[in-house]
Amino acid sequence: MDKNIIEKLSPEKILQFILDKGINGAGSFKGAQRIADEALNHAGGNVDKAVARVIKTHTTLVGTSGFVSGLGGFATMPVSIPADVTVFYANAARMVAAIAFLRGYDIRSEEVRTAVSVSLVGVIGSEAMAKIGIDVARRGGMAALKKLPGRVLIEINKKVGFRLFTKMGTTGSINLVKFVPVLASGVGATFNVASMRTIGGYARRNFPQVTEVVVDESDLLNDEEFIIDAEIIDDYQENN
């Protein structure tokens, strides 16, 4: 891979890069489904215990000083963004996707990938989704997300990517030295663990057990209400 490829990508594309690695894995870095299967096996088939194990495993991992160097080929890929930032969020995306898989979601679908990305930015993501009338954790929330036109999912991912990579940066550039808000130089393992645990909490909220989700069409917005112009999301970004 050209070492300049990631540097030239938009925030949205960098987000997709992280989601791809987290969900599918890379080299010795296991994908989300494999992590979920191993956790479920260890938990004797108990989904709740498996979810707890996935979160514990990932929070423990990022609390160790060698978590970047221990990831084989993925950690040594010649990307232009800091390896610790890349690896932290790949781990976070994998954790969230593994939880989604354990709770019965298709982690290959675009709406689930979007919900994974929203989980990575925590309260900012929840507020952005609320702005367009969706709470993925409520009854019918994921079904509502699935009904969104593809172009709206693209806009959501674009804005999530921008939020993730530029909120603490400078306008018009991707300032990863001031990356939000973890793993910048000098930040301790304790904060990494707390950040991963927080993301795990959002994953639990955003992906309720599928068997517990009863979709009531009366709860869903009508098709006209789902035709969301990109300006709505732009307006949210500008005013927050």
DSSP string for 141-191? HHHHHHHS-HHHHHHHHHHHHHHHHHTTS-TTS--GGG-SSS--TT--HHH
Tokens 């709505």, residue?
A: 232
pLDDT at 40 over 90: yes
- Per-residue pLDDT band for 80 (boundaries 50, 70, 90) equals very low
pLDDT at 170 over 60: no
- Per-residue pLDDT band for 128 (boundaries 50, 70, 90) equals low
Mean pLDDT of 93-117: 92
> pLDDT higher for 158 or 172?
158
pLDDT at 237 over 90: no
Residue 106 contacts residue 186 (beta carbons within 8 Å)? no
What is the value of pTM for the model shown?
0.70
Question: How many domains is the chain built from?
Answer: 1
For 51, other C-beta atoms within 10 Å of its C-beta total 25
Q: 82 is in which domain, residue-wise?
A: 5-238
Provide the pLDDT for residue 229.
38
- Per-residue pLDDT band for 52 (boundaries 50, 70, 90) equals very high
Cα gap 30→32, rounded to integer Å: 7
User: How much of the chain exceeds pLDDT 70, in percent?
Assistant: 47
Q: What are phi and psi of 19, to 5 degrees?
A: -60, -45
Helix (H, G, I), strand (E, B) or coil at 32: helix
Residue 206 contacts residue 119 (beta carbons within 8 Å)? yes
pLDDT at 110 over 90: no
Residues in the chain, total? 240
